A and B are shown apart, each in its own frame.
Chain A
Amino acid sequence: MLRLHYNLEKLSMGLVVGIIVAASIGGIVEIAPLFTIDETVEIPDDMRPHTPLELAGREIYIREGCYACHSQMVRSLADELDRYGPYSLAAESAYDHPMLWGSKRTGPDLARLGEKYSDDWHSQHLIDPRSVVPASIMPAYPWLARPLDTEILSDQLATLARLGVPYDAEMIEAAITDAMGQSQPETEAGDAVRERYGADVAVRAFDGDPARLTEMDAVVAYLQSLGTLTNAPYELFAEGAQ
C-alpha cells in the first residue's frame, strides 16, 4: 500500500485524481442526506412561518450578531432538557434561511425563550441589560428605539417563498401592513395578521407604543416567537417524559 502511494506521489496527474476521489467520498457522505431532506424532515401540521415583523426582527438579530453568543438549539442532553425544555427538532428551523442554531453560548440558549418574559422586560433588557440583570455582560442596544425599515419585507417574503417557506401571494402583498399591524392590538390590521398567520400569533405593542413601529418592536416580536411556531417538540417531549 505504501509503495503505491510512493509511486503515486511521483505522478502529478495521478495524485490529483487520487485526491479528487478521496475528497469526493467525504463530500458525498455529507451531501447525500440533503438530497432527501424534504422527506426526512417532517414539518408538523401546526408549524407556521415567521410573520413579517418577526422576520424583520430576525434580520436585526443577525445584524447585531446575537447568534455569536446565543444558540437557538436545545441539545438532546438530560440537563439541557431540565433547564430549557424539549430538545429542538430539525423541523423548527426548516423555514429559517439561514438557520441560527449557533454553536457557542456566552449567554443562554434562546430556543425556548418565547413568552417566558414580558415585552417590557425585553425592551428594558435590550436598552440597558445591567438595569435588570446586574451581573449581565451583554452589550446594550439602545439604538433599537429607531424606526423600523419595512421597505424590503415584501421582497424578502417572496424570496423565502421561492425557497419553500409557505408564504402565499396575499401574505407577500400585505407584508408591510402586517408588520405595522402586529404592533397595533385591537385594530383591523392587527386582526388581519392573526387571520393570515394563526390565532396564537402575539399582536401587541411590543415596545409599549402602538403609534410607532421601531426596531425594538421587531426584535421583541421575534424573541417572543422563539419556540412558539409549533407545539410538536412539547408534545413529543411530554410523551417521552411520562
Chain B
Amino acid sequence: MSDDPRLNPDPDHEIDAHTGHREVDPVTGYDTTGHDWNGIRELNTPFPKVALWAMILTFAYSVIAWILLPAWPYGKDFTRGLLGLDQTEMAVEGYRALTADRSDWMAKFEAANFPALQADDMLMLPAMAAADRLFQDNCAACHGADGGGGPGFPVLNDDYWLWGGDPETIAETLHVGINATGADTRFGQMPAFDWMERGELGALADYVTALPQGNADADSEGGVLFAENCSACHAEGGIGGMENGAPALTDRAVIYGQDRASVLETLRRGRQGVMPAWSDRLTEAEINLLALYVANLTQDDVEGQQ
C-alpha cells in the first residue's frame, strides 16, 4: 500500500475547496500543502493581506507617477509628465532663491568701498560669518583654517605682506592670482641661481641666513653677491618692501624658511609659488567680502599682540 496521502484519503478530513488539498490543520485551521516529510506536514499559510495591499498601492502609485512625472524613454526623448518637473531647473531655481536670500546684504559688497563697508557694524556681523564659511571652503586648504599659513603657503594673520595687505590689494590678488594661468596675473618669480658656483652659493646663503639676526656683513663675499644679484628685487640689505612679490629677508617671515638648507634649496631651484585666480570661481561681492575678512585677520592678530 502506498504512503501517498492523496491515494489514501483520510475520511475524517474534508477536501479544501480553495486549494483542492485534503488536509486542514486542526490547530490553526489552515490548509496544508499536501507534502509529507516523515509525518511532518507544511502549512499552506495564505498570502498576508497587508502585503497584498502594499503591492496594489505600489502599482497604483507607479501608474500615477508615470502620468505626472518624467517616466518613459522613447528614442531620443522621454515622456515629460503632466507636472512638467525638471530636476536641474529646480536646482537652479533653488540656487537663485539662496542667492536672493543673501542679496539684501551681499549686494552691498559688489562695490569695493571698503572703509564704508567696514564702518557698518550691522552689515559686518552677518557678513563676516559668511566670509568665514567662504574662507574655509576656498582658502583654508593652503592658508590654514585660521589664516596661519603652512609650509610654503603665506601666513595671512600677521602683518607681513608680499603684495600689500589692505583690502583693495587683497581683492586684486584674489582676482588675478599670483603666477596663475590668466594674462593679468601677478608675476613673482625667484629665479634659480644654479649657475653660481658652490662656494658663491654657500657665501650668499650664509649672508641671507644672517640677515634676520642683523649681523650680516654687507662687505663679505655673500654681501657683495647679494648686492649684485638680489637687491634689485629684495631691496638693498634685503629689507624688501618693494611690493613686487619679493619678500623682505630681514623680518623672519619668509614662507619657505630662512635656515641655511632652505635658502640653498631656494637658490638652486628657484621658487614660483602659485596663488590661483578666483574671478571665475567667486563673484565680485564674494571676493570683496573675502578681502575684508583677510584684512581683518591681520588686525585681529595685531590687536591680540598689543
Interface contact B75-A87, CB-CB below 8 Å = no
Q: Is A82 an interface residue (CB 8 A)?
A: yes
Contact present for B97 and A78 (CB under 8 Å): yes
Q: Is B152 in contact with A81, judged by CB distance below 8 angstroms?
A: no
State in angstroms the CA–CA spacing of A77 and B89 once bound together: 10
Give the contacts of B149-171 with A (CB-CB under 8 A): 150-153
Contacting residues of chain A (27-53) with chain B, CB-CB under 8 angstroms = 32-33, 36, 39-40
Q: Is the CB of B150 within 8 A of A82?
A: no
Instruction: Please state if A118 and B281 are interface contacts (CB–CB under 8 Å).
Output: no
In the complex, the chain B residue whose C-beta lies closest to that of A2 is B47
Q: Indicate with 1 or 0, residue by residue over B276-293, a CB within 8 angstroms of chain A CB atoms.
A: 100001000000000000
Query: Given A118-B276, A241-B92, are A132 and B142 neighbors across the interface (CB < 8 Å)?
Result: yes
B90, A76: Cβ atoms closer than 8 Å: yes
Shortest beta-carbon distance from B14 to chain A in Å: 20
Q: A121-B142, A132-B153 are in contact. Are A36 and B76 (CB under 8 A)?
A: yes
B153–A241 contact, CB under 8 A? no
Q: Which of B28-55 contact A (CB under 8 A)?
A: 47
User: What mask results when residues 112 to 155 of chain A are scored 1 for a CB within 8 Å of chain B, else 0?
Assistant: 00011111110011000001111100000000000000000000
Q: Evaluate contact between B73 and A33: CB separation under 8 angstroms.
A: yes
**B92/A131 in contact, CB under 8 A:** no
Look across to chain B and name the residue whose beta carbon is closest to the beta carbon of A125.
B141
- In angstroms, Cα B141 to Cα A131, docked, is 10
Contact B152 A120 (CB under 8 A): yes
In the complex, which residue of chain B has the Cβ closest to the Cβ of A121?
Answer: B142
A81 touches B153 (CB 8 A): no
Query: Across the two chains, which residue of chain B brings its CB closest to A128?
Result: B151
Give chain B interface residues in 2-50, CB to chain A under 8 Å: 19, 47
Which of B150, B275, B281 makes the CB contact (< 8 A) with A132? Answer: B150
- In whole angstroms, what is the CA distance A77 to B92 when docked? 8
Q: Which of A39, A83, A240 has the most CB of B within 10 A?
A: A240
Across-interface contacts of B76 in A (CB, < 8 A):
36, 39-40
Query: A115 touching B181 by the CB < 8 A rule?
Result: yes
Most chain B CB neighbours (cut-off 10 Å) among A33, A76, A118, A202: A118
Please tell me which one of the listed residues B89, B95, B273, B276 contacts residue A82 in the complex, with CB atoms under 8 A apart.
B95
Nearest residue in A to B96 (C-beta to C-beta)? A241
The residues of B that contact A36 with a CB separation of less than 8 Å are 73, 75-76
**Contact status A115-B276, CB under 8 Å:** yes
Q: Is B137 an interface residue (CB 8 A)?
A: yes
In the complex the two chains form, is A124's CB within 8 Å of B152's CB?
yes
Chain B residues with CB under 8 A of A115: 181, 276
Decide yes or no: A121 and B181 within 8 Å by CB, A78-B91, A78-B94 being known contacts. no
Which residues B259-281 have CB closer than 8 A to chain A? 269, 273-276, 281
**B137 surroundings in chain A (CB, below 8 A):** 83
A79 at interface (Cβ–Cβ under 8 A)?
Answer: yes
Residues of chain A contacted by B98 (CB below 8 angstroms): 78-79, 82
Cβ-neighbour of B88 out of A76, A120, A121, A135 (below 8 A)? A76
Distance A76 CA – B75 CA, assembled complex (angstroms): 24
B306 within 8 A of A: no
Q: Which chain A residues border B73 with CB–CB below 8 Å?
A: 32-33, 36
List residues of B (44-78) whose CB comes within 8 Å of A's CBs.
47, 73, 75-76, 78
Known: A82-B98, A131-B150. A118 touches B91 (CB 8 A): no
B91 and A117 contacting across the interface, CB-CB below 8 Å: no
CB of B178 to closest CB in A, whole Å: 9
B99 at the A/B interface (Cβ < 8 Å)? yes
| Chain B residues positioned under 8 Å from A2 (CB to CB) | 47
List 19 A-B residue pairs with CB atoms under 8 Å apart, sorted by A's residue number: A2-B47, A6-B19, A33-B73, A39-B76, A75-B91, A76-B91, A76-B92, A78-B94, A81-B92, A115-B276, A116-B138, A118-B273, A118-B274, A131-B150, A131-B151, A133-B140, A202-B181, A241-B95, A241-B96
Given contacts A76-B87, A241-B99, 17 further A-B contacts (CB under 8 A): A32-B73, A33-B73, A36-B76, A78-B92, A78-B98, A81-B91, A81-B95, A82-B95, A83-B137, A87-B88, A116-B138, A117-B142, A118-B273, A121-B153, A124-B150, A131-B150, A134-B145
